[in-house]
């Protein structure tokens, strides 16, 4: 049994719709430290920033095309060190110094975003011009929300009132059935204690319409890291367990095989189902807790025989760490307007339903994260009922789900011989891909591809063929392996090493 919760949107927003101002942000050196810079954006906005951690040091980066998938491990340390947040106003920013000039990009607060204007006129002090612009985060229609079960292809969790209008059934967080796949035995649940912390490993898929807004994979990684940092700030009040997020993988999709297209949109329910199958077919490396699709396309569903585009997100309730761990949401890149949608849908994945419509402290009208009312500061935090629902669901998760993933590095025991001198590229690829091929029940052997543009960077591709398609993963050449016919690799450098 799968439970869905959808997010409906009245407004299709873009950064162009808001007011725009030009500013020259600068770091106030006298009040700053290396890890806690104070950023002055203008006379009215000064941010007290702290370093953020939202990226795995070694990130699985997948490029998915019609010909196959290429997987490479990206070291994110240079990106991670430039991501900051202000917990008080919920800022999420990338700060970089390029050619001696400060570049600032990201989320300033709930309404304002900032980005550099490289072609703009510099200030008298040489500071770069930036655009400070308004973005209306996606707004939702509370009359059209509800819970959905996968075995009913269209809404079941709604009832018809006396006036003929459909309204959602009220739910009490923490007191609803969750998919049985998230439950262990009664005795196990009774014995488990609530963990102190839960690092949710995320794999984010950027669909073709979304990632075409970025010039490089590094730009996409930066953008999604800023988004997830914004999501993280909406869970700061959650304790026992504390909830944080780490991006362990990304897919840059150039062929959206998981999407169900209809009249220029993607049908939400069918796409979510196909995402589940996409994962089951081993298209997502590692074992993330949640897989989230970010789309630049309009999401839709069919209601009463008509196409309804007033939907911005969809998720399986309590799907985290189960085969239903998929969620999706719209984001009009590069506006970051999908942060609320992502935070809201991940809340469903973690076990929270919508806040109830009663009069208590968790009431819908208070406008917390799991409501669609605008509750001002409340919109940036979970209600106590949502926290309790997540807490109850977390107690049912396995130890494997709750443990933080780690990147494992092979241990070389012979200091006198370079590892690349003891193994051929062919054998190395067979060993590197052995687990992947076994999991996918593929009997063919892996083989290397060594284009010069890769080997001179001390990299190569390990590939395998299934039917007409060839799938490749980019790997590092071992120290001591030949890289251009004359030179060898040492610590990632192709050259003549002694």
CA distance 255 to 467: 18
CA distance 370 to 176: 15
For residues 337 and 355, state if they share a domain: yes
Angle at 405 (CA atoms; ends 401, 409), nearest 5 degrees: 150
Query: Of 303, 255, 305, 295, nearest to 272 (Cα)?
Result: 295
For residues 107 and 227, state if they share a domain: no
Number of structural domains the chain divides into:
3
Domain boundary among 367, 402, 437: 402
For residues 366 and 466, state if they share a domain: no
Alpha helix ranges (H) inside 203-261:
208-211, 217-232
Residue 32 lies in a domain: yes
For residues 256 and 364, state if they share a domain: yes
For residues 190 and 241, state if they share a domain: yes
First to last CA, the chain: 62
395 is catalytic: no
| 471 DSSP 8-state letter | E
Question: Among 105, 140, 330, 345, which one carries the catalytic annotation?
Answer: 345
Residue 67 lies in a domain: no
Q: Band the pLDDT of 142: cuts 50, 70, 90.
A: very low
Count of other CB atoms within 10 angstroms of residue 290: 22
Query: Of 286, 310, 328, nearest to 138 (Cα)?
Result: 310
Q: Across residues 258-264, what is the average pLDDT?
A: 94
CA distance 295 to 330: 5
Starting at the earlier edge strand, list the strands of the sheet with 26-27: 26-27, 38-40, 46-48
**C-alpha distances out from residue 262 to 93, 125, 166, 304, 309, Å:** 36, 53, 25, 16, 11
Count of other CB atoms within 10 angstroms of residue 432: 15
Instruction: Output Rg (C-alpha) for the chain, integer angstroms.
Output: 24
Domain boundary among 342, 369, 402: 402
Asked if residue 339 lies in contact with residue 229, where contact means CB atoms within 8 angstroms, the answer is no
Mean pLDDT, the chain, rounded, equals: 82
Residue 414 lies in a domain: no
Indicate if the alpha-carbon torsion angle 426, 428, 430, 436 is positive or negative.
negative
> pLDDT higher for 29 or 113?
113
Angle at 82 (CA atoms; ends 477, 94), nearest 5 degrees: 120
For residues 98 and 230, state if they share a domain: no
- pLDDT tens for residues 76-96? 999 999 999 999 999 999 999
Q: Band the pLDDT of 47: cuts 50, 70, 90.
A: very high
Q: What three-state secondary structure class fits 50?
A: strand
Q: Band the pLDDT of 5: cuts 50, 70, 90.
A: low
For residues 121 and 207, state if they share a domain: no
Angle at 445 (CA atoms; ends 441, 446), nearest 5 degrees: 105
Reply yes or no on whether the pLDDT at 151 is more than 50.
Answer: no
| H/E segment holding residue 134 | strand 130-134
CA distance 401 to 404: 8
CA distance 395 to 435: 31
Residue 409 lies in a domain: no
Q: Band the pLDDT of 175: cuts 50, 70, 90.
A: very low
Q: Across residues 227-242, what is the average pLDDT?
A: 93
Asked if residue 208 lies in contact with residue 255, where contact means CB atoms within 8 angstroms, the answer is yes
- Segments forming the whole domain that contains residue 34: 15-52+80-134
Alpha helix ranges (H) inside 235-383:
268-280, 339-350
For residues 38 and 7, state if they share a domain: no
For residues 304 and 389, state if they share a domain: yes
Query: Of 56, 404, 105, 401, nearest to 250 (Cα)?
Result: 56
Residue 166 lies in a domain: no
CA distance 226 to 55: 10
> pLDDT higher for 158 or 420?
420
> pLDDT higher for 496 or 308?
308
Give 144's contacts (C-beta < 8 A, 6+ positions apart): 8, 166, 168, 310
For residues 433 and 376, state if they share a domain: no
Q: What is the pLDDT of residue 155?
A: 32
The annotated binding site for Zn(2+) is made up of: 344, 348, 354
- pLDDT tens for residues 409-448? 333 333 345 667 777 888 888 877 877 787 778 888 899 9
* The 3-state secondary structure of 332-401, one letter per residue: CCCCCCCHHHHHHHHHHHHCCCCCCCCCCCCCHHHCCCCCCCCCHHHHHCCCHHHHHHHHHHHHCCCHHH
- pLDDT tens for residues 345-376? 999 999 999 999 888 999 999 999 999 888 87
Q: Band the pLDDT of 144: cuts 50, 70, 90.
A: very low
Residues in the chain, total:
498
Q: Across residues 478-482, what is the average pLDDT?
A: 81
- pLDDT tens for residues 312-342? 999 999 999 999 999 999 998 888 888 889 9
> pLDDT higher for 115 or 156?
115
For residues 293 and 367, state if they share a domain: yes
Q: Which of 221-230, 389-398, 481-490 has the lowest mean pLDDT?
A: 481-490
Extract the runs of DSSP E, i.e. beta strands, from 296-453: 299-303, 306-311, 313-316, 326-330, 447-449
Residue 169 lies in a domain: no
Instruction: State the CATH number of the domain containing residue 345.
Output: 3.40.390.10
For residues 39 and 185, state if they share a domain: no
Give 493's contacts (C-beta < 8 A, 6+ positions apart): 458
């Amino acid at each position: 049994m799968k439970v869905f919760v959808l997010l409906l949107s009245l407004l299709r927003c873009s950064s162009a719709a808001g007011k725009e101002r030009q500013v020259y942000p600068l770091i106030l050196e006298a009040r700053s430290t290396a890890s806690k810079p104070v950023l002055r954006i203008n006379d009215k906005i000064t941010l007290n920033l702290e370093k953020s951690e939202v990226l795995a040091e070694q990130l699985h980066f997948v490029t998915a095309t019609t010909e196959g998938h290429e997987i490479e491990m990206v070291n994110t340390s240079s990106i991670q060190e430039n991501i900051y947040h202000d917990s008080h106003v919920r800022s999420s920013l990338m700060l970089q110094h390029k050619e001696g000039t400060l570049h600032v990009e990201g989320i300033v607060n709930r309404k304002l975003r900032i980005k550099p204007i490289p072609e703009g006129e510099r200030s008298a002090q040489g500071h770069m011009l930036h655009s400070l612009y308004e973005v209306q985060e996606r707004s939702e229609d509370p009359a059209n929300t509800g819970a959905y079960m996968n075995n009913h292809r269209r809404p079941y969790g709604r009832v018809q009132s006396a006036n003929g209008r459909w309204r959602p059934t009220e739910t009490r967080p923490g007191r609803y059935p969750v998919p049985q796949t998230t439950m262990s035995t009664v005795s196990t649940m009774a014995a488990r204690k609530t963990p102190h912390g839960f690092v949710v490993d995320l794999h984010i898929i950027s669909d073709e319409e979304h990632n075409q807004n970025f010039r490089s994979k590094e730009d996409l990684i930066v953008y999604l890291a800023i988004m997830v940092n914004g999501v993280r700030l909406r869970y700061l009040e959650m304790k026992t367990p504390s909830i944080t997020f780490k991006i362990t993988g990304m897919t840059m999709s150039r062929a959206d095989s998981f999407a169900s297209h209809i009249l220029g949109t993607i049908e939400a329910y069918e796409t979510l189902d196909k995402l589940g199958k996409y994962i089951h077919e081993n298209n997502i490396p590692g074992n993330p807790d949640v897989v989230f699709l970010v789309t630049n396309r309009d999401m839709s569903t069919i209601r009463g025989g008509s196409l309804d585009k007033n939907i911005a997100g969809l998720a399986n309730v309590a799907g985290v760490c189960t085969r239903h761990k998929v969620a999706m949401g719209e984001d009009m890149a590069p506006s970051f307007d999908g942060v609320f949608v992502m935070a809201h849908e991940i809340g469903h994945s973690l076990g929270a339903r919508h806040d109830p419509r009663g009069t208590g402290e968790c009431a819908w009208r208070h406008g917390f994260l799991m409501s669609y009312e605008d509750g001002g500061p409340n919109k940036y935090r979970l209600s106590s009922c949502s926290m309790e629902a997540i807490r109850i669901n977390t107690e049912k998760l396995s130890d494997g789900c709750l443990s933080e993933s780690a990147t494992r590095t092979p241990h070389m025991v012979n200091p006198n011989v370079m590892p690349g001198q003891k193994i051929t590229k062919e054998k190395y690829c067979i060993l590197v891909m052995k687990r992947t091929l076994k999991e996918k029940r593929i009997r063919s052997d892996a083989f290397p591809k060594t284009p010069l543009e890769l080997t001179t960077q001390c990299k190569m591709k390990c590939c395998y063929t299934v039917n007409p398609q060839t799938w490749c993963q980019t790997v590092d050449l071992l120290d001591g392996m030949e890289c251009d016919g004359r030179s060898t690799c040492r610590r990632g450098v192709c050259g003549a090493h002694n």
